[in-house]
Amino acid sequence: MSRPRVVFIGTGGTISSLGKGPLDTVDYGSTGNMMDAEGILARFPEVQLVADVFPVPFSAVPSPNIHFPEWKALVLLCDKVVAENPGLAGIVIGHGTASLEETAYALHLAAKVPVPIVVTGSQRPASALSTDAGLNLVNAVRVAADPGARGLGVMVLLNDEIQCAREVTKTSTGRMQTFRSPDFGVLGQADGDRVVWYRRPLRLGAPETVFDIRPLDSLPRVDISYAYAGADGTAVRAFLAAGAKGIVSAGFAPGFCGPGDLEPLKQAVKDGVIVIQCSRAGSGRVFPSTKLKEYGFLTADNLNPQKARILLAMALTVTQDPAEVARIFATY
């Protein structure tokens, strides 16, 4: 029986980092020493015990530097490796954890390949004592090669847990169990004996989406206005002056902006800017209240602000109609 073939794309981050020594779990970024995909596979040869894994070159950068240009490049690279490797079981992408959830969700909305894509990373650098890099990589490969992963869109694998890209978020700066899906929990687990599955997401994801970023040079500008006591609308006005086509209001729970932000946001709607009301709470739906409808604000469902920003930017590539944007937020 032939072994599954899996591509590994390394984009940098902690999983690729080499610190000053085995006890360096905090300041490793200062070395600037990051391995490419080939180097990571060489450091953790055990990954070849579960599949035939081969590296595909990509730039190694800190994850806060990854945004639209890299998302587009990854979408195109996934197209290329699938076209050149008939029978490929899946794709694993190594990524820094700081913005991992954003890249995973962007790919969940924009990737067009039929094979599973699993994004993984680590909380401790590859050089650290008790690093999680090796096992996360092995388990990500196991998940990408598992037949049960088909049709689930883009997934995130860390700490043995399989999460949906739409739902997962980083919840701790340093703990190993940092990636959680607050409202719905894991899709499954990569246990020592096998990969087990417990649920399937119902919201649409890759490759069955209306979004195609491959011909685009950029996404429409969308900014996040964060609610706090005493906010006076300065940030909202600055975003509008910078040319924002959409604004996500990361409001007080259960979903409303501060009084100082309200008037500039209402004016934004009058000027044709889409405003999405979100919550800074980290969990739960924003309800379409009478006041939000009066203001012309749309709601983010249960997406966190950074995910709502990505979906709104993607939505604005296909429509500027508020009703259609609302439908998209109810679909993806």
Distance CA 70, CA 58 (A): 9
Tell me the whole-structure pTM to 2 decimals: 0.96
Kindly name the residue from 11, 14, 103, 178 that is annotated as catalytic.
14
Is 120 among the residues known to form the active site? no
Neighbours of 199 (CB within 10 A): 12
Neighbours of 134 (CB within 10 A): 17
- The structural domains of the chain, ordered by start, are 5-197 (3.40.50.1170), 222-331 (3.40.50.40)
Distance CA 247, CA 174 (A): 30
Query: Strand 161-164 and strand 188-190: pairing?
Result: antiparallel
Residue 302 phi/psi, 5° resolution?
-110, 15
Distance CA 254, CA 279 (A): 6
Q: What is the tens place of the pLDDT at every residue in 179-201? A: 999 999 999 999 999 999 999 99
Q: What is the tens place of the pLDDT at every residue in 89-147? A: 999 999 999 999 999 999 999 999 999 999 999 999 999 999 999 999 999 999 999 99
Beta-bridge partners for 90: 6
Torsion sign across C-alpha atoms 60, 64, 67, 69: negative
pLDDT for the residue numbered 1: 65
Quote the percentage of the chain above a pLDDT of 70.
100
Once rounded to an integer, what is the mean pLDDT over residues 301-315? 98
